Structure 1
């Protein structure tokens, strides 16, 4: 074991096999660090620390790509800055598992957990263990509170966190001693890293006093969230003696009331302190600053202080961030002897007074105000030792700890959570066998060929990203029904690879058309093709159980998703929303996805309100292709008003596309249907049947109304002959689907879009059958023409 000394009385230990040279091989890696804790603007000391740690890591580690996962004490959370990529409610146990899934999909190198009792849910905060147990990367945990006499739950939780962590960090020798002797954590696993502080110059307090109207006054300062355990009343009781000798003394009490105290008692404690100051005759010598200050403001307050006072009431504080800041800025400190103060202020670096002893506080403050040389010497000792605590040095120590953790667990991962699925069941309508012969016929090592001549792939017209995205969605849907196999998984990899190659970094979009000799035919594809590919990526993330696939999809998803809001096509918005909904099956608390989801829904609603009338409740004045997807995304939005809007629009669309004999009759692609003009009845495309069926199943899932399921089955029958021509589009011999209904015949070609539309429709029905084990049998009541 090698022991490294950081300052007198403080050491940290590392394994001898990780020298400074070893760590330097990482080039200050890892770059992709995820910090977990609470976070500003939440008013909490840990939130401030996590924020400072993240910002400092990004400042001092070259090319850092760190992110933050924040835990909330309210269900609604906070208006976080952009670095908070994910947040969750502390009392939602399932959210911890989802947060782990999010991190596992982000290619994070190391997780740095900030642990404090009270910020995580469950007995003694044991919900955090669910998150840690499901992570696949090494964990470094900073313990902010280390109790000398923990209860059984507290002991078990801290020991369990340490077991799940590759390294643990404490901030004081006392804390290290407790971890070894009380919690039985191996010494070689512990890194002692002092509480980081800003690198502030050593300045005369008079430089800042004019900012607060304190010219010519002696200033005392206590800062931090206000609560009764801070002992501020003891300083106020000491003031009459101090003021007697130094009438110009002002005691500055800086800090908002602790949110938990404010919630239950309001400002009763602050008011009691003000009353005490009046009763002691020192009202004019005490100033309260009821605010939660940012770093720049805090440094000004600290700069103006002649003496910093921490009059805490009991010894059980292993770390004090406020003491660290004041000490490191070179303040003369008078403090009660809690654990961190005993360690930091030893050897003349500060003054200790007994707990609750106002007379002793008065004596020591008078002594320091009377002896400028002693006060300056104390300040200088504190400031020089504080140079070891500045954030740059603390971050280097954290980077070493992260590198060590990563080296230890580079190739080891925890078991990922396996989610059980519901039992199989069947509804009254017996679904056809799901055959993939034609899918594999169209698929080669590049991807899926977009067109066919009869059932044969038509190589002359190459590939398109649209169809590879559809094929990937299909593969994932089938795999989720339990009907997949290795051959389908291999095909899915080909579709992923095609999408990966289609991406263009210059435009943060996807190219669409590729020739058979693998030449891209455009600089970038349409809005709709990019939106559909986002849908496929979201489905990968939401449904795939393969970590590599999810991590790949996450990278592209995050790059492309922000571009969608600038697109003008409502279908691109809708396809992207379907991708977001699939993504949110795993990561419902991703704030970026939520923001874009809201933007896109607002855009669609605006289109609807601008266009819809009583007899045309729709988003556009023309019904063209893939119409139902616009209603579909509102139905799945979770917003009751939007759900109702989507259901109303879909009912209208279904009525419009239902023939007098009751069969599905989609809008024809040969002219479409513009409001006030004649409607096109042909050519009818399989895509319209699949899209409308999918929207109906979404309505069934949301409302539970069996009519929607019956309608979906009726639409599916369009593929098998329940249509205007009474001819099947599905080819039982090849497993493919013909390209559409002309006015007098079926198009005999079996291209990718048509065949994928049929297979997707069938796979979605299988999925619904599987997910609705308790659904009642559905009487489809097909007309006689379907039975003959």
Structure 2
């Protein structure tokens, strides 16, 4: 899926679809995966990928501290599409990738310095986010940095971001709806995960309390009879509405696995670890269709589960999502 420029967005079955171009979102994901893989296995191929994806992020950085998301197949920024679509989530994910690389001591110093320098250019612009998932990714980025450097400004920004999520929760929650929004959509678990990480840094019990309530609410609505069932993309799950079951996306499964593993690490409550394994098994066939989503032959991952069929395309997001989920058990 990766050429000398970056990781290609989509695939037609197992063949990369170059016409789909590239996205910051996928290359930030890929940078995180390559960094985690290199940390664990120290392979030259993973380090080469770190270099490729890091260079991609430099190519799409903007002077205001945010990033362009869409790049055409000819390596030219798609200005119209970037203007039309909000780039908060991809920009924040990119900052998390940069923060992770900058603190991973196994990665050569030159790459760590490059990553930290690009992160600082955005951080010094005092960028802000309003999208809940963008806020959550930024918290993950700041948590990375604060685990190594106890900078007062970084801590203050992390607290501010955590408070943003708390406010969203207080505005949306009710007796039977313990959540940050009036709907469950994609990558839901990153929101409670961010507050868990905020608690790890600050010791603020309110962050832990809300993260536990919201993660338990998510568990209640996505696990049934020892099977993980992500919220369906075809309509999601609105508050006081009907929960959709299809199409199920690998990215959502991964977010759940990661959040459950982090919650286990913080609370040492074993049922979170057990649920993480159940969710991971969604990739291996323990899902509503009883179909394997991870392709052992290619190392790729199918793009999702429909009502009757698996989407057999193996795009960047799906393939990286599987790798994230697998690597999260190594932390």
TM-score, normalised by the number of residues in structure 2: 0.94
Partner of 1:66: none
Q: Gapped runs of 5+ residues in structure 1? A: 1-441, 768-788
8 Å contact 2:35–2:46 — kept in the other structure? no
Structure of higher CA gyration radius: 1
Task: Establish whether residue 443 from structure 1 lines up as the match of residue 15 from structure 2.
Answer: no
Partner of 2:271: 707
> In structure 2, what is the Cα distance between the partners aligned to 1:708 and 1:564?
36
> In structure 2, what is the Cα distance between the partners aligned to 1:514 and 1:715?
33
Partner of 1:654: 219
Task: Establish whether residue 689 from structure 1 lines up as the match of residue 253 from structure 2.
Answer: yes
> In structure 2, what is the Cα distance between the partners aligned to 1:516 and 1:741?
28
SS at structure 2 position matched to 1:733: coil
Which has the larger helix fraction? 2
Deviation at 1:754, TM superposition (A): 0.3
> In structure 2, what is the Cα distance between the partners aligned to 1:564 and 1:455?
41
Deviation at 1:484, TM superposition (A): 3.2
Partner of 2:51: 493
> In structure 2, what is the Cα distance between the partners aligned to 1:504 and 1:743?
41
SS at structure 2 position matched to 1:678: coil
Deviation at 1:520, TM superposition (A): 0.6
Task: Establish whether residue 614 from structure 1 lines up as the match of residue 179 from structure 2.
Answer: no
Q: Gapped runs of 5+ residues in structure 2? A: none
SS at structure 1 position matched to 2:259: helix
Deviation at 1:620, TM superposition (A): 0.4
8 Å contact 1:451–1:751 — kept in the other structure? yes
8 Å contact 2:27–2:57 — kept in the other structure? yes
SS at structure 2 position matched to 1:458: strand
> In structure 1, what is the Cα distance between the partners aligned to 2:254 and 2:266?
18
8 Å contact 2:12–2:313 — kept in the other structure? yes
8 Å contact 1:463–1:513 — kept in the other structure? yes
TM-score, normalised by the number of residues in structure 1: 0.40
Match of 1:600 among 154, 161, 166: 161
Q: Cα 1:477–1:564, aligned 2, differ >3 Å: closer, same or farther?
A: farther
Q: How many residues align?
A: 322
8 Å contact 1:668–1:680 — kept in the other structure? yes
Q: Cα 1:630–1:511, aligned 2, differ >3 Å: closer, same or farther?
A: same
Task: Establish whether residue 643 from structure 1 lines up as the match of residue 196 from structure 2.
Answer: no
Instruction: Choose 637-646 or 574-583, whichever is displaced more.
Output: 637-646
Task: Establish whether residue 474 from structure 1 lines up as the match of residue 33 from structure 2.
Answer: yes
> In structure 2, what is the Cα distance between the partners aligned to 1:563 and 1:658?
41
Deviation at 1:559, TM superposition (A): 2.0
| Higher relative contact order (Cα pairs below 8 Å, separated by 6+ residues) | 2
SS at structure 2 position matched to 1:722: coil
Q: Cα 1:745–1:650, aligned 2, differ >3 Å: closer, same or farther?
A: same
Off by >6 Å, runs of 4+ in structure 1: none
Q: CA offsets per residue over residues 50-93 of structure 1, 9 Å max, x none?
A: xxxxxxxxxxxxxxxxxxxxxxxxxxxxxxxxxxxxxxxxxxxx
Q: Aligned runs of 1:221-620 on 2, under 5 Å?
A: 442-481=1-40, 483-505=41-63, 507-522=64-79, 523=82, 526-544=87-105, 545-561=107-123, 566-587=128-149, 589-620=150-181
> In structure 2, what is the Cα distance between the partners aligned to 1:621 and 1:532?
23
Task: Establish whether residue 672 from structure 1 lines up as the match of residue 233 from structure 2.
Answer: no
Q: Aligned runs of 1:96-111 on 2, under 5 Å?
A: none
Deviation at 1:551, TM superposition (A): 1.5
Deviation at 1:591, TM superposition (A): 1.9
Q: Considering only aligned residues, what root-mean-square deviation do their CA atoms show, in Å?
A: 1.4
> In structure 1, what is the Cα distance between the partners aligned to 2:127 and 2:133?
12
> In structure 2, what is the Cα distance between the partners aligned to 1:493 and 1:567?
27
Partner of 1:729: 293
> In structure 1, what is the Cα distance between the partners aligned to 2:181 and 2:124?
24
SS at structure 2 position matched to 1:691: helix
Partner of 1:211: none
SS at structure 1 position matched to 2:227: coil
Deviation at 1:566, TM superposition (A): 3.3
> In structure 2, what is the Cα distance between the partners aligned to 1:745 and 1:561?
44
Deviation at 1:497, TM superposition (A): 0.3
